[in-house]
Amino acid sequence: MQTKPLDSKVAIITGAARRIGAAIAETLHCEGMNIVLHYNASEEEAQTLCDKLNHLRPNSAVTLQADLLQPEVDNSLITKAYQVWNRLDLLVNNASRFYRTHFGKVTEYAWDDLMISNLRAPFFLSQAAAPYLAEHGGRIINITDIHAWRPMSNYSVYCISKTGLLMMTKALAKELAPKVMVNAIAPGAIVWPEGENSLSDDEKESIISKTPLGRSGSAEDVAKVALFLARDVNFMTGEVLAVDGGRHL
C-alpha cells in the first residue's frame, strides 16, 4: 500500500463538529491524518463524526471539549491534543463566532465575545502549538473571511476580528519561520448563516448576483484548499487564499 504524505500526521481542528470544520476534518482524515476534533457545545455532532472516522480507520480520531472564551484554555487544549499521539503537525483555527453588531448599539460583551473567539483564541492556540509544530515542520491554517477585506454593514466587530486574524497570519508567518508555515483561507458565500443570522432568499440571491461564478460554494470547497495548504505547499507562508467564487473582486 502506497504511503501518503500526510499518513500518521496529526491535526487539531477547532470547531470541528459541523459545517466547514467537519468537512476539513473528513478531508484530512481521508488523506491519512489522525484528527483531534475540538468542539464546545456540539458534543453529539462531534462524537458522531469521531465515530465515523474511527470506523473508517480505527484509533484515528478523538474529541476534545473546550470553551475557547475561557482564559488559559488554549494551553491545556493544545497539550491534550499533543499527548494523544505525541506529535502535532497542523493547527486549523476554524472556530468562530458570527452575528450582527449594529454600530451605536455595540456592547462590550459583544466586542469581547467576538474578539476572543475570532482573534484571541487563535493567537494563543497558535502560541501554545508552535513548539510542537516546529518539531516536524508543521503548519497553521487560519479560517478568516473575505469580509476581512471588505466590511459588511452591521457586522463591524466581526469584520474587525477577522481582519485581525488576517494580519495575525502574516505576523506569525514571520515569527514562526522557517520551521512553521502559516497561511489562511478566506471563504465567501460557502455555508449560509443559521438561526438569528439566517438570510432571506432575496439576500442570498443578492450575494450570488455579486459572485462572478454565479453560485454559492460548499464546505468541501474550503476543505480542498485546506488540504492543499496542509499537504502540497512547501514554499508559501503568510498568504490568504480567497474561496469565494471571485466575490472579493
Question: Which strand (E) or helix (H) includes residue 35?
Answer: strand 34-39
Q: What CA dihedral angle connects 127, 30, 25 and 72, to 10 degrees?
A: -30
Q: Alpha helix locations (H) across the chain?
A: 19-30, 43-56, 73-85, 108-115, 121-134, 156-176, 201-209, 219-227
Helix 19-30, helix 43-56: angle, nearest 10: 10
Cell numbers at 146, concatenated: 473575505
Cell numbers at 165, concatenated: 486574524
Of the listed 39, 132, 155, 158, which one is catalytic?
158
Q: Are the CB atoms for 167 and 117 separated by under 8 Å?
A: no
CA 163 – CA 151 distance, rounded (Å): 9
- 158 tagged catalytic: yes
Q: Are the CB atoms for 9 and 84 separated by under 8 Å?
A: no
For 234, list phi and psi in degrees, rounded to 5. -130, -10
Q: What residues act catalytically?
A: 158
